[in-house]
Chain A
Amino acid sequence: MPRVLWTHLMKDLRIEWRSKEAINSMLFFALLVVVLFSLAFDPRGPFSQSIAGGVLSVATMFASVSALNQAWAREIRHQVMDAQRMAPTPGAELFLAKVLANFLFVTIVQVILAPVFLVMYNLRVVGQAWLLAVVLPLGTWALVANGTFFAALSIRSRNRELLLPLILFPIFVPALLAMVNATGGILTGESDPGMWIKLLTGYDIIFTTVSLLLFDTVFNAE
């Protein structure tokens, strides 16, 4: 891993370790969504297997918005971003470090959330369970790569908390559909998740590449 990327990443992890702002807010929000869904629908009913993927994805999606907003808010709080802009290092490395840090934070929340989710929705994996270890990281990457980019884009806006979900969610829809269908296919064993996994992989490659190419323009905007 390039040294500067590692420097940015370690800084983000250290700050999060001390403040725990992102993980705490995400965790409580995601738990709340899962519990509310379990109250709205009968979690032990016949449809629980088929809606579980959607509930988990939506909970992760809503919860991660707060963390994504905080990721850049920290950089503009004392104009730290100006100091980063003046450093002779590519902005893409800062972006990639933020994506990796956010990916790690969302994954930690998912790991804590998963057992609660399995118990509350009485889930038994009928398909190939190991595929979940492919689908969830791919879906999470799609969310955080786009989310980190659009959070940077909206950070100078007065209504950034509102603007981020408004831009992010419509663009995330193809990845969300792929994630939900793949997860549903794995949990129920009724359909082959292969096509959805390929779609997620393609989505991740395209959107990560485009974000990396455009980030310097966003980063250095006045």
Chain B
Amino acid sequence: MSGPARPAPNAQLEDVSKLFGSFAALRQVSVALEPGKCYVLIGENGAGKSTLLRILAGLLRPSMGQIQVFGEAEPHDARDRIGYMSHAPMLYDELTGVENLSYFARLYPDRECLEPAEALRQVGLDPKLERPLGQYSQGMRQRTSLARVLLAQPDLLLLDEPFSNMDVESAGQMVELLARFRHSSRTIVITTHQRELAAPIADFVLALKAGRVARFEAGNPTL
């Protein structure tokens, strides 16, 4: 007797490699990212974590191999359903948090976006803050950046080192928020060096080493 049908993956990579000149950042990576799951991507610096995330986000094209995101061969065609948070805040220093978020919300006319003030409240920031982003602390920028990503309520959430520059308490709050955000149709991918922080929401661990998948299994990233 067969069990319940597995849902179609939100994103799938088959033998994906990425070359920068003669340097191979990714080598024949094959993974399927299922809806409702959180994947923690670990590996040393230069292992290819950020490259993998940028390929999933459609910001880089694979040199070889196949990729599908929400059934599209080009992630760019499904970009309204993808949220990507990078090392950099991807926001303007000259604008306040609400102004930044209002700007990005208007770039998603067909998505049901959160109110900018609500998105800021969700990440624990005061939406009435009048200061421009350039005067925020690193941690506050990081939270605003997360608010920007959550704004369009994406189905594939790609977070590159979301806990960097954050104290343990703030990181814990972020994990709680991500746990609430996790939904049966949503996939979350987190790269981090602070494995213990991501442990409470991790369903799968994907370890990369020199661009190859060294480990891909269900479980806790701290083990």
Contact = CB atoms under 8 A, between A and B. Distances in A.
Contacts, number: 72
Given A86-B79, A222-B60, A7 B92 contact: no
B60 to A, nearest CB: 6
Nearest to B61: A222
B58 A86 contact: yes
A215 to B, nearest CB: 15
Contact of A80 (B57, B59, B92, B111): B92
21 contacts: A4-B109, A7-B107, A11-B103, A18-B132, A77-B93, A78-B90, A78-B92, A79-B86, A80-B91, A82-B57, A82-B86, A82-B90, A83-B90, A85-B79, A86-B58, A86-B59, A87-B80, A87-B108, A88-B110, A220-B76, A222-B61
Contacts of B148: 83
Contacts of A198: none
Q: Interface of chain B, helix or strand or loop or mixed?
A: loop
Q: Which range holds the interface residue count of chain B?
A: 20 to 34
B168 interface: no
A84 interface: yes
A4 B104 CA distance: 10
Contact of A79 (B88, B93, B110): B88
Contacts of A18: 94, 132
Given A4-B109, A89-B109, 17 more contacts: A11-B95, A15-B94, A74-B92, A80-B91, A82-B59, A82-B90, A83-B84, A83-B91, A85-B58, A85-B79, A86-B59, A86-B82, A87-B104, A88-B107, A88-B108, A89-B108, A222-B61
Interface residues of A, number: 23
A156 interface: no
Contacts of A80: 90-92
Interface string A160-191: 00000000000000000000000000000000
Contact of B107 (A4, A14, A220): A4
- From A11, A18, A19, A89, name the one whose CB has the most chain B CB atoms within 10 angstroms: A11
A7 B99 CA distance: 11
Contacts of A220: 76
Contacts of A158: none
A15 B95 CA distance: 7
Contacts of B82: 86
Contact of A78 (B89, B109, B110, B132): B89
Interface string B146-160: 001000000000000
A222 B51 CA distance: 12
A69 to B, nearest CB: 17
Contacts of B57: 82, 86
A222 B63 CA distance: 12
B94 A89 contact: no
A89 B79 CA distance: 10
A85 B111 CA distance: 16
A79 B93 CA distance: 12
B93 A82 contact: no
